Amino acid sequence: MKYLSEKCTKLIGNKIMETVIDLTDVQIFQGHNLILSDVDVKIGQGEFVYLIGQTGSGKSSLLKTLYGEIKLEKGTGNIAGFDLTKLKPKDIPFLRRKLGIVFQDFQLLTDRTVFQNLSFVLKATGWKDDNKIKDRISRVLELVGLQTKDYKMPHELSGGEQQRVVIARALLNEPEIILADEPTGNLDPKVSDDIMNLLHNIAQQGTAILMATHDYRIIQKYPGRILKCAQGLVGEASSLNAIL
Amino acid sequence: MSATEPKIKKKRKVSYLPSIISIGMVLFMLGLFGIILINGNKLQQYLKENFQLTVFFKDEVAEADMKRVMATMQQQEYTKRVVFVSKEQAAQQFSTEIGQDFVGFLGFNPLLPSVELFLKSSYTSPDKLKTVDIELRRNPEVQEVVYQQNILDEINKNVGTIGTVLISLSIIFLIISITVINNTIRLNLYARRFIIKSMQMVGATHWFIIKPFMFKSILHGLYGGIIACLLLLGVLSALPNWIGGIEALYDNTQFAILFVVVILVGIIISMMSSAFSTNHYLKLKIDDLY
């Protein structure tokens, strides 16, 4: 069951953007420990937002709250039409179908091929027609430049290729937002650039991206909105230079 | 399709082999105990049904009357079988036992004709035996009913003790089987806990994730059960070579039921362990998986 919130909109430049993430006055706990407080974050359709901060500053906790791994106890939060305060465990799979989640350690299904990884997602999210499944998989693999690697097992792919598969997996159900937790953390600069180009292209096509990262080189090279987690708060940074 | 894919698939299948064999071994152990239980029951039945009452007829009773009484006994629900022993047969048996012709010595045969009555095992309890005894004594042709109550008491006592021990052992064996199979399945799933979590991250529902693991475990339980049954068949075939005459206790119907039970136990324990373990990992947070 979805808890559809009233879709918010905001004006950025001359464009009216639909808000896909809307957190107001949120407090995030890990167990009984308060990790972040007074979190007010709004992210619109197609926005590319970096989430930076030191290790342990709460970046991952914020992302986990957004994909339902941590329950939102205080404040109000909406993501992709789901009210996080009313989210029940049985609703979480349906929320995640609206999101694309990308991890630093890939989290592919290591016991099956690239094609099977992707078809698992489609079948899990209700796709039945084998031809449509094949078509959709070839389309997303083409998008990430891996159309010839569908038969490979994850361990037969390089780190960059595995991350591309993860991005392809995230794109399968045309998510409104991709949550990426240090997606370039395990990759060398060249491969990281490839992944960043890919993510920017995806954002330009209307999918919002919230990406946690430590890599300031990337932020400089691929500018975007910056949110900084520090001292238990999440603040907006005007530019990387201001932070540095 | 790459050349390495069949190799990987083969490797994946082989990786399940140890767990199938473990399940098979545990079920074999359980099945062996089942065989002991079945044969124990049959042995107990055999002992009880070889317990005899000797019903002595009065000396003056005509043979036709004795045969009539014997035929009536034969029809009773408690009767397993009856054997008529005439005066002459009794004298011959006794002479053989003592090694002397006591009839020639005495000049007459003092022994009475009798019927050896073997009861069904369910009628060998003291209460039921007493009822049978009273009923037999009501016959005017019957002089006396003799049986060795102490032997029967001993049999009943030992059977009771052995029964308690066997039931306790069967509970212990079942608990051991559940624990070992459960641990084998849990270990298998522990190795796949991150895969389970990844499945959850892409929006799969719990049931969608649990279903294939359960199905695989059902197959493993089935294969383990089949391995156990084949080994049990081997044991049953070899046993008469080691213990002469044991085949007399074999009951093929009960063994067939045992095999079905062994396979079902394998399937049910594997399926439930798989469902519980997968559900356990689904409920854990990512950080708890490390």
To test the contact with chain B by mutation, choose from A65, A102, A111 the residue with the greatest count of B C-beta atoms within 10 A, namely A111
Query: B228 vs A33, A219, B241, CA distance in Å?
Result: 52, 62, 21
From the number of C-beta atoms within 10 Å of its C-beta (0-12, 13-18, 19+), residue B174 rates as middle
Chain A interface includes B286 (CB < 8 A): yes
Total structural domains in chain A?
Answer: 1
pLDDT per residue over B7-57, tens digit each? Answer: 555 555 556 788 899 999 999 999 998 988 888 888 888 888 888 889 998
Q: Nearest Cβ partner of B5 from A90, A107, A151?
A: A151
pLDDT per residue over B149-194, tens digit each? Answer: 888 888 888 888 888 888 888 889 889 988 988 898 888 889 889 9
Would A123 be classed as within a structural domain? yes
Residue B221 has pLDDT above 80, yes or no: yes
Nearest residue to A176 via CA among A84, A86, A78: A78
Q: Nearest Cβ partner of B203 from A69, A109, A124?
A: A124
Q: Nearest Cβ partner of A151 from B2, B205, B206?
A: B2
**Low-confidence residues in chain A, pLDDT < 70:** 1-17, 240-244
Q: For residue A183, give both structure tokens.
A: 């997606």
The percent of residues above 90 in pLDDT, for chain B, comes to 32
pLDDT per residue over A120-152, tens digit each? Answer: 999 999 899 999 999 999 999 998 888 899 999
> Chain B closest CA to A194's CA: distance in Å?
23
The residue ranges of DSSP E strands in chain B, in sequence order, are 52-57, 79-85, 114-119, 142-146
In this predicted structure, what is the pLDDT of residue A13? 47
Nearest residue to B27 via CA among B173, B186, B163, B165: B173
Residue B90 has pLDDT above 90, yes or no: no
Q: What is the mean pLDDT of chain B?
A: 87
Chain B interface includes A125 (CB < 8 A): yes
> Chain B closest CA to A220's CA: distance in Å?
30
Chain B interface includes A124 (CB < 8 A): yes
For B119-123, B213-217, B244-248, which range has the lowest pLDDT when averaged over its residues? B244-248
Chain B interface includes A111 (CB < 8 A): yes
Please give the backbone phi and psi of residue B81, each rounded to the nearest 5 degrees, phi first.
Answer: -160, 160
Nearest residue of A to residue B203, measured between CA atoms: A93
Q: Nearest Cβ partner of B204 from A69, A113, A124?
A: A124
Q: Are A2 and A81 in contact (CB under 8 A)?
A: yes
Cβ neighbours of residue B260 closer than 8 Å, sequence gap 6 or more: none
Single pTM value for the model: 0.73
Helix (H) or strand (E) run with residue B159 in it? helix B149-190
Would A3 be classed as within a structural domain? no
What mean pLDDT is predicted for residues B225-231?
96
Would A112 be classed as within a structural domain? yes
Looking at chain B, which residues constitute the CATH 3.30.70.3040 domain(s)?
52-146
Q: Which residues of A touch B1 (CB under 8 A)?
A: 151
To test the contact with chain A by mutation, choose from B4, B9, B198, B206 the residue with the greatest count of A C-beta atoms within 10 A, namely B198
In this predicted structure, what is the pLDDT of residue B105? 81
Dist. CA A51–CA A212, nearest whole Å: 4
Cβ of A111 within 8 Å of Cβ of B202? The answer is: no
Degrees, nearest 5: CA angle B94-B100-B103 = 70
Would A121 be classed as within a structural domain? yes
Chain B interface includes A79 (CB < 8 A): no
Q: Determine the structural domain holding residue A199 and report its residue range.
A: 47-64+89-237
> Chain B closest CA to A140's CA: distance in Å?
15
pLDDT per residue over B91-111, tens digit each? Answer: 888 888 888 888 788 888 888
Indicate the residue type of B112.
L
Three-class DSSP category at B26: helix
Nearest residue to A39 via CA among A28, A52, A30: A28
Q: Which residues of B touch A94 (CB under 8 A)?
A: 203
> Chain B closest CA to A241's CA: distance in Å?
34
Give the max Cα distance, chain A: 51
In this predicted structure, what is the pLDDT of residue A28? 93
Nearest residue of A to residue B193, measured between CA atoms: A109
Dist. CA B206–CA B204, nearest whole Å: 7
In this predicted structure, what is the pLDDT of residue B243? 82
Residue B224 has pLDDT above 60, yes or no: yes
Cβ of B198 within 8 Å of Cβ of A156? The answer is: no
In this predicted structure, what is the pLDDT of residue A83? 94
In this predicted structure, what is the pLDDT of residue B7? 56
Interface of A with B in 175-234 (CB under 8 A): none
Other residues' Cβ atoms within 10 Å of the Cβ of residue B275? 17
Chain B interface includes A127 (CB < 8 A): no
Q: SS3 sequence, A132-199?
A: HHHHHHHHHHHHCCCCCCCCCCHHHCCHHHHHHHHHHHHHCCCCCEEEEECCCCCCCHHHHHHHHHHH
Dist. CA B124–CA B148, nearest whole Å: 12
pLDDT per residue over B231-250, tens digit each? Answer: 999 999 998 888 877 887 78
Other residues' Cβ atoms within 10 Å of the Cβ of residue A36? 25
Nearest residue of B to residue A31, measured between CA atoms: B285
Nearest residue to B278 via CA among B203, B174, B179, B208: B208
Cβ of B12 within 8 Å of Cβ of A107? The answer is: no
From the number of C-beta atoms within 10 Å of its C-beta (0-12, 13-18, 19+), residue A9 rates as exposed
Size of interface A-B (CB pairs under 8 A): 63
Q: Are B103 and B95 in contact (CB under 8 A)?
A: yes
Degrees, nearest 5: CA angle B86-B87-B93 = 90
> Chain B closest CA to A23's CA: distance in Å?
21
Q: Which residues of B touch A121 (CB under 8 A)?
A: 202-204
As its CATH architecture, domain B52-146 has 2-Layer Sandwich (3.30)
Q: Which residues of A touch B289 (CB under 8 A)?
A: none
In this predicted structure, what is the pLDDT of residue A17? 65
Cβ of B199 within 8 Å of Cβ of A67? The answer is: no
CATH code at position A216: 3.40.50.300
> Chain B closest CA to A165's CA: distance in Å?
13
Would A24 be classed as within a structural domain? no
